[in-house]
Amino acid sequence: MSKLTFAWTQCFFVQRAVRAQQKQPPLLGLWLGAVILLKNTRTGRQLPLIDPPAERYYLNNLQRALDWLRQCPHAAALCPQIDEFETLPADTQALLMRLVMRQKAHFRVPKLNYPEIIDMAHALDAGCQAGWLSLDHDLTLGELGDLLSAAELRARFGADAGVRKGDLLMHLQHEALPDQPWDDWVPDLSDSVVSLTCRDTFDRWRLAFFGSLYHDWQTFVLEQLGVMRYQDVELVGAGFESAVEFEQCWQISQWDGLQPLPADPAGPLASRRRSSALYARGRERQRLGQWDLALDDYRASNARPRIARVLEQRGDLALAYRFARRVVARPHYPAEATAVAKSLPRLAKAVGYPAPARARNSVPTEAMVLAFRPNVRVETAVAEALSADSGQAFWVENGLFPSLFGLLFWDALFAPRPGAFFHPFQSAPADLYSSDFESSRQTLIDQAFASLDDDSHRVRIRQRAKHSRGIQNRLVNWSVLTPPLLELALDCLPADDLAVIFRRLLDDIKRHRSGFPDLIVFDSSARSYRLVEVKGPGDALQDHQRAWLGFFNHHRIDATVVNVSWA
């Protein structure tokens, strides 16, 4: 393989892997691969940057996962299927994995062309005999349409040459044609179709290894290409507490909203996922106006702001008012009170009570008139204006303070805790947003706060940034936290300010990691800074932004809203 050919092959792998891992637009992965190619070409480095993947790299990756699962008590029920898979011929294993990595379930055999599979006919035969594949699986009309070209579909059903494939399939749907095997659908075609009948097996392995179905097998490729780097973590046990919890999580992952969910979750993961599933169904029922059913789901998932809203929509205004007051008086988390408090004046008026005084945080504001530039974001325009007036302005939004937090508390984030890490590809522990995250790592968290007290946090953060730059951390945005910005932040941000900000972040990481002001402006000569939230014409503060601005104002941290109008 030539250097240029391999480089563009690398682009292809990056494109597929990045899209699978991060659900990014199709061209992003190709762009990343092109950057690798151009960087090496311009700098004169010898291509390739990395070794080409082995012909059956995907089987090696799968084997890593299966070897780990054999050690996990929660995956004991999967071992017989793993044993059966490993007794299949190597070509059959490779074919199965190739098909699993594709999205569809049915494939025309002549179009299966994988150079590393030496004997395709034998691979198919062995897979069918073992029940992992099928050559006579019933196909729906839609699946048939996916397999046939437009010309073949028109010929099969005698349609005119000008009829589009989609229109023909839509017309045929009204005929309620029965499902049938490929040979019965198209007896005049000489090729055959193979169906993948074992996707659930591979998905169960994937869930058992990754802990969720959001990851797929391309995650290994991202690591091997160097696109995604992960912190080395000690896998203490498995993420699932038991085989029962694993089976419950599998059941939840396959839930269609109709069958009952596990009534008694066997562990924290199953409990959280059950609540999430019920909450999602509650949203849909609320949208359809099924108030009683929506309330059942929201109560089961403890979604109190939603309960208050549905009670109001259902017309139970007095009950909604009393419930909302109870939530505001004793919120489970600060954002809950904020969400419900907005409805109290409206509900009070509806039931004839005096409207409660709304507590409004006084936020300093200033106006700025700028020349309109069509292709320039308003945040960029304000940053340029502030940099010209005084100091250095950076558009950081949620990328600075959470990143500094992630660096300072790195050891706590990646501490070996039972159930925290399922696999080596996690950017954060599984319990990051749980209520006991802090208490289960109290010593490490106390050490990080102590470094703010004795002013050693700068050394600690610098060293972590130097040694870990590029490693995935859910709280660290490396593209924002450039070395120059990091140095300015460490030089100008007082330890006391960081301590109170980090304390609020730690109180509710999931909700408090967003809402930070858009810009930070440094005055390096005075070793000071100010925060600026930018609002263009017609834009307004959101609740989580207002909460942070109120917090900064309370702690005498300079934070301002700049309202922009165009000249």
Question: Which tens digits make up the pLDDT trace of 227-256?
Answer: 778 888 877 656 788 899 999 999 999 999
Q: Once rounded to an integer, what is the mean pLDDT over residues 307-324?
A: 95
pLDDT band, very low/low/confident/very high, at 21 (cuts 50, 70, 90): very low
For residues 105 and 224, the model is more confident at 105
Q: In the predicted model, is pLDDT for residue 4 greater than 70? A: no
Q: What single letter denotes the amino acid at residue 331?
A: P
pLDDT value at position 41? 37
Q: In the predicted model, is pLDDT for residue 542 greater than 50? A: yes
Rounded to whole angstroms, the Cα distance separating 65 from 197 reads: 21
Give 251-299 pLDDT, tens digit per residue: 999 999 888 999 899 988 899 999 999 999 999 999 999 999 999 999 9
pLDDT value at position 388? 84
pLDDT band, very low/low/confident/very high, at 98 (cuts 50, 70, 90): very high
pLDDT value at position 56? 86
pLDDT value at position 449? 97
Q: In the predicted model, is pLDDT for residue 33 greater than 50? A: no
Beta strand pairing call for 193-196 and 133-134? antiparallel
User: 103-134 b/e with 16+ CB inside 10 Å = b?
Assistant: eebbbeeeeeeeeebeebeebbebbbebebbb
pLDDT value at position 534? 95
pLDDT value at position 54? 61
For residues 238 and 52, the model is more confident at 238
Q: Once rounded to an integer, what is the mean pLDDT over residues 423-438?
A: 88
**Helix 57-69 × helix 90-100 angle, to 10°:** 90
Q: What is the mean pLDDT of the chain?
A: 87
pLDDT band, very low/low/confident/very high, at 49 (cuts 50, 70, 90): very low
Are 124 and 133 within 8 A, CB to CB? yes
pLDDT band, very low/low/confident/very high, at 78 (cuts 50, 70, 90): very high
- Domain residues of the chain, as ranges? 52-223, 243-351, 365-566
pLDDT value at position 294? 96
Beta strand pairing call for 559-566 and 365-370? parallel
Q: In the predicted model, is pLDDT for residue 416 greater than 60? A: yes
pLDDT value at position 354? 84
Give 175-205 pLDDT, tens digit per residue: 889 999 999 999 999 999 999 999 999 999 9
Q: What is the CATH number of domain 243-351?
A: 1.25.40
